[in-house]
Structure 1
């Protein structure tokens, strides 16, 4: 039996009302779609509302091959990010509607189901943070996207790093101060701490040395919204395939390059 991956936590619908386009998304959802397209068995554990967007999200993820048996449907609105396309290129966030995601909590059945997976992805906004110790103690490989918030006191990320195997963070510049932080994060528990740096590539630290990876240039940059999630997905697939850290970073950079060259976030 192959590796089973679970995207547990935040999900929403990105809705471009002015052009009539909708995408199911969320850090773990984007990650999972990439992995599913690369042949990995993926499940979604989250919630949608009893509305049109909820129905569309379940249909779209099922079509991607997701197990949606624990993508719960509850009374209320699906979490939505209203978007607009400005000048045909620039994406503008208009309004975030939390909907049923605001009060979502995995129930006991969800928790048992999550533990049936080998790799679990989560984020800061999916109301799953208190489950990190449970996953860690069960020996699961935990991938977590801390985005730009790893140093933000509001999110108390240092409480979560010890339970994560692969910690991904987003920054703009590779500086000595950043390397000190990445080294500190890895020292709290992760096997590998990774900082993505946008067009400047990425760095990773495994407790012994730093690794650097440049970007893979895209022929045309159309959409950078899904760049981070696709990098994490490519890196994760490298981990699944037993690749070393530089090869995982390269896999992330290659997938990210393909994604930013198209309008879709994956």
Structure 2
């Protein structure tokens, strides 16, 4: 299974702690899948600064193909972060070279050589979703907390697995999942924090709890790691129920660490 992460690559910087790490939804996703044995690539852009070199170094060390990790003059994208207990707080986003990121024809040809592609709105490639579908790619999209129909309905017809984050299981999110799945995805998955996760495939809902961590250090990356664990289950032919459990197991290990992988 060849998997491409496409879009945002950035640094999370905790200035008050003197710590930072390379990240991004698709970056975390492909790192976790690489560790699980998948053949992975990252298509994005970094700057000519030390952070860009750090991003490339981490991805290379994790076995991720960076042949299409572009380097542009300027600063690598970053988020200034803080921790409230063990919950992340985004203070400021600096887009840097990501503001000019766009896929080239060569990038699309490269991505088309994969079996699966992962991206999100921050990846700046939603306009390429029809091309991914035309090429027969299994497309995974992380909507995060953006449960807005006006945004989602433009992307959902081109997506196979749609991931959302929400705070609780209620009538709103269950009806939203039904609506979203009718637009095209094979399954709609929602992570619910400490309440676990839900999946809907057009026939029934599947529910799974969390896998308790020995300790919770930082919740950054929990959703991305869950997504990686879930999709690993899909690649292995697991049932949706077991895919939810696989996602919970990977996420449990991540929240016990400071870095998101």
TM bucket (normalised to shorter chain) is: over 0.9
- d(CA) in 2 for partners of 1:247, 1:123: 24
Shift of 1:223: 1.1
Q: How does 1:5-84 map onto structure 2 within 5 Å?
A: 5-84=3-82
Shift of 1:24: 1.0
Can you give the 5+ residue segments of structure 2 that lack an aligned partner in the other structure?
none
TM-score relative to the length of structure 2:
0.96
Shift of 1:86: 6.3
- Structure 1 runs of 4+ aligned residues shifted over 6 Å read none
TM-score relative to the length of structure 1:
0.94
Can you give the 5+ residue segments of structure 1 that lack an aligned partner in the other structure?
none
2:101 pairs with 1:104: yes
2:179 pairs with 1:178: no
- d(CA) in 1 for partners of 2:238, 2:191: 19
1:202-229 Cα offsets, whole Å, 9 max, x none, are 1111011111111111121111111100
2:158 pairs with 1:196: no
Shift of 1:14: 1.0
Aligned to 1:265: 260
1:1-38 Cα offsets, whole Å, 9 max, x none, are xx100000111011223333221100000011100111
1:41-82 Cα offsets, whole Å, 9 max, x none, are 110000001111111111111111110000000011100112
Q: How does 1:236-251 map onto structure 2 within 5 Å?
A: 236-251=231-246
- d(CA) in 1 for partners of 2:75, 2:149: 29
- Root-mean-square deviation (Å): 1.3
Task: Please tell me whether the aligned partners of residues 18 and 85 of structure 1 are also in contact (alpha carbons under 8 angstroms).
Answer: no
Q: Of 236, 253, 261, which residue of structure 1 is paired with 2:248? A: 253
| SS across alignment from 1:150 | coil
Say how many residue pairs are matched.
261
- d(CA) in 1 for partners of 2:179, 2:159: 14
